[in-house]
Structure 1
Amino acid sequence: KITVIPTGVDVEYFKPNPEPAAPHSLVFTGSMDWLPNEDAIFYFVKEILPLIRQQVPGISLCVVGRKPSPRLQQLAATETNIKLTGWVEDIRPFMARGSICIVPLRIGGGTRLKIFEAMAMAKPVVSTSIGSEGLPVRDSEHLLLADDPSKFADAVITLLRDSERRTRIGLAARQLVEQNYSWAQVANRLAANLDDVVTKSNLQNSLVAVTAR
């Protein structure tokens, strides 16, 4: 028997910030020396961001993560309103200032913690299907999913223009992780499964001992 214990998030550390987000601001978090993250930013800046700028000229993007490559630094230097933070001690203030968290991943891998962290902070997320792969989330309820540049841009623009929907999705996302994927919930599942294994093992050993008499 195989039991899968889901990813968890510290919902006491990652929690909603009462300060309002900066208008027309996007944020991406992740180690930038990891190829899927670097590819995601190049894809977003080259293929999606120009479409958003047609409707929201003042859009800004903050990329929060360690070791952005020289190639990525050059990209940011040639684009307006794109900031690379490099390593930061605490990502929460940067996430709090973003109106929307984006996850435009095209390459799979990892545990998708960035989405659970954003959801725990009640931040609306726009992601590709690969970006949210394996997470128990529903499109249009806990986040918005889009797998081509025009649809991704439309999803971002829609949320930027609809503060009530941003709030609604963010709160639903927070509720999902708080009730099901907090560290406490995940630890309880792990403990329950370990107890079950130990109980069954002890029972089996007892039966073997009785049979051997």
Structure 2
Amino acid sequence: MAQPVTKVLVIGYVWPEPRSSAASGHVMQILETFLQQGWDITFSSPAGPGEHKADLAVLGIREVSIELNNSSFDVFISELAPDIVLFDQFMMEEQFGWRVEKHCPEALRVLETSDLQSLRHARHQRLKDRLKANSDQDDFSELFAPALREEFELMADTDLAKREIAALYRCDLNLMISEVEIELLVEQFGLPRQLLHWCPLMVELPSAPARAFADREHFLSIGNFRHAPNWDAVLWMKTTVWPLIRQQLPDAQLHIYGAYTPPKATALHNAAQGFHIMNWAEDALQVMSAARVCLAPLRFGAGIKGKLVDAMLCGTPSVTTPIGAEGMYGDHPWPGAVAHNACDIADSAVRLYKDQTLWQAAQQAGTMLLSERYQYAVHGQALIEKLRYCQQHLQILRTSNFTGSMLRHHFHKSTQYMSQWIEAKNRHSPTD
């Protein structure tokens, strides 16, 4: 007798734009993994469609718009009766988790974190404090790769961390893109390891050889301008890193691509300085394949970086910081260079740009790293096996996660009362 098809509901913070952000790309990889199982998928979001939204319907995924604080979602999810509910970012669990609990209590609750937002925001604040206290724009080594205990102390008192960690507890499984974040959550925040599953970016290994050294030119940087770490990196390149590179390579050109280019970014364009703001790339892999070196001087951030995985896919060596490379390469050599200050970033970039032997070794290191850590087949299978295990042992897992059960009970009750009050208020005019 045929088994019933697994029904999955995804509640997205935004509609996926895989060509605009790594976070959306990861969501699409997860959806493709589900589709390969023949699962029935519905993607919903309270957000409006973005300029570069993926066409999910073409893939056979239903698209349903939903609203915040609207009981119409109750009818929708009751009729759908999903077996698995995937929250894309913890804010969606906050908004809709209690409704899932109310109408589909037996559904497996999964949170796709993308990265730890509370870690990223805490690091951003640390950078702001450093810039206020010290005008030096070269050395930021004290910000890079501190001990996990220091990261915990930086985050622990923040409202965002308390909200995010609570959401992780309330879910049955949390998909973590970075092993460093898993260790932070387990060792410092005390989350049970069984609640966390390592699911990094998943890629198919390239079948054709990458473009050769002699067939490439220019430096490249890429990333969504709406993402604060990317914008900060652009500013650091403009003021400090790029002038150091141009001192050694006077004719060097830097092409910066990114979705949703704001006027403040366009204003940085200066052809005379070789600093080119190129707006959105229709095909990110194409422009990455044409570049000789990828620059990603990130001074804060979390998770792992899609631009650096793309660089490996294209055989493009990259120069980044410990923040950029965090959680990405394990015990393997980095396919390029990891530097702590602007001078070293510039020197490393110039060496890679000029030294073909060094460049080819970095390219080979990237190919090896992809094979060892990012293969789609390996992580896709591991994800499906983990989800099936959790479904089969759901009650045992929930009983052992008493903290999560307690948080669900209190949070969802209070959220339900607040939502009912808002809905009742919205039904009446101010004069009633």
**TM-score normalised according to structure 2 size:** 0.43
Secondary structure of 1:68's counterpart equals coil
1:80-95 to 2 correspondences below 5 Å:
80-95=273-288
The alpha-carbon deviation at position 144 of structure 1 amounts to: 0.8
Whether 1:145 and 2:330 are equivalent positions in the alignment is no
Structure 2 residue corresponding to 1:168, chosen from 355, 361, 368: 361
Secondary structure of 2:384's counterpart equals helix
Secondary structure of 2:377's counterpart equals helix
Greater shift, 188-197 or 12-21, is seen at 12-21
The answer for the alignment partner of 1:43 in structure 2 is 236
Whether 1:58 and 2:251 are equivalent positions in the alignment is yes
Structure 2 residue runs without a partner (length 5+): 1-193, 398-432
Contact 1:27–1:95 (CA under 8 A) maintained in structure 2 = yes
The answer for the alignment partner of 2:352 in structure 1 is 159
The answer for the alignment partner of 2:375 in structure 1 is 182
Paired letter, 2:262? S
Contact 1:30–1:114 (CA under 8 A) maintained in structure 2 = yes
The alpha-carbon deviation at position 40 of structure 1 amounts to: 0.2
Seen in structure 2, the aligned counterparts of structure 1 residues 26 and 138 have a Cα distance that, compared at 3 Å, is farther
Contact 2:288–2:310 (CA under 8 A) maintained in structure 1 = no
CA shift digits 1:153-183 (9 cap, x unpaired) = 1111111121111111111112211333122
Seen in structure 2, the aligned counterparts of structure 1 residues 33 and 197 have a Cα distance that, compared at 3 Å, is closer
The answer for the alignment partner of 1:6 in structure 2 is 199
1:106-125 to 2 correspondences below 5 Å:
106-125=299-318
The answer for the alignment partner of 2:220 in structure 1 is 27
Paired letter, 1:11? E
Seen in structure 2, the aligned counterparts of structure 1 residues 76 and 197 have a Cα distance that, compared at 3 Å, is same
CA distance in 1, matches of 2:203, 2:333: 24
CA distance in 2, matches of 1:142, 1:21: 19
The answer for the alignment partner of 1:210 in structure 2 is none
Contact 2:329–2:369 (CA under 8 A) maintained in structure 1 = no
The alpha-carbon deviation at position 103 of structure 1 amounts to: 0.7
CA distance in 1, matches of 2:305, 2:243: 26
Paired letter, 2:362? I
Sequence identity (%): 24
Matched pairs, number: 203
Paired letter, 1:178? S
Structure 1 residue corresponding to 2:290, chosen from 68, 91, 97: 97
CA shift digits 1:76-106 (9 cap, x unpaired) = 1375222222123211121011101111111
Greater shift, 10-19 or 185-194, is seen at 10-19
Contact 1:121–1:174 (CA under 8 A) maintained in structure 2 = no
CA shift digits 1:112-141 (9 cap, x unpaired) = 111111112221110011112222356854
Greater shift, 49-58 or 171-180, is seen at 171-180
Structure 1 residue runs without a partner (length 5+): 205-213
The alpha-carbon deviation at position 59 of structure 1 amounts to: 0.9
**TM-score normalised according to structure 1 size:** 0.82
CA distance in 2, matches of 1:36, 1:199: 40
The answer for the alignment partner of 1:17 in structure 2 is 210
Secondary structure of 2:301's counterpart equals coil
Greater shift, 173-182 or 126-135, is seen at 173-182
The alpha-carbon deviation at position 48 of structure 1 amounts to: 1.0
Greater shift, 162-171 or 2-11, is seen at 2-11
CA distance in 2, matches of 1:203, 1:43: 50
Greater shift, 162-171 or 134-143, is seen at 134-143
Contact 1:15–1:120 (CA under 8 A) maintained in structure 2 = no
The alpha-carbon deviation at position 21 of structure 1 amounts to: 4.0
Structure 1 residue corresponding to 2:261, chosen from 65, 68, 76: 68
The alpha-carbon deviation at position 74 of structure 1 amounts to: 1.2
Paired letter, 2:220? V
- RMSD over aligned CA atoms reads 2.6
User: Bigger radius of gyration, 1 or 2?
Assistant: 2
Secondary structure of 2:273's counterpart equals coil
Structure 2 residue corresponding to 1:191, chosen from 378, 384, 396: 384
The alpha-carbon deviation at position 146 of structure 1 amounts to: 0.7
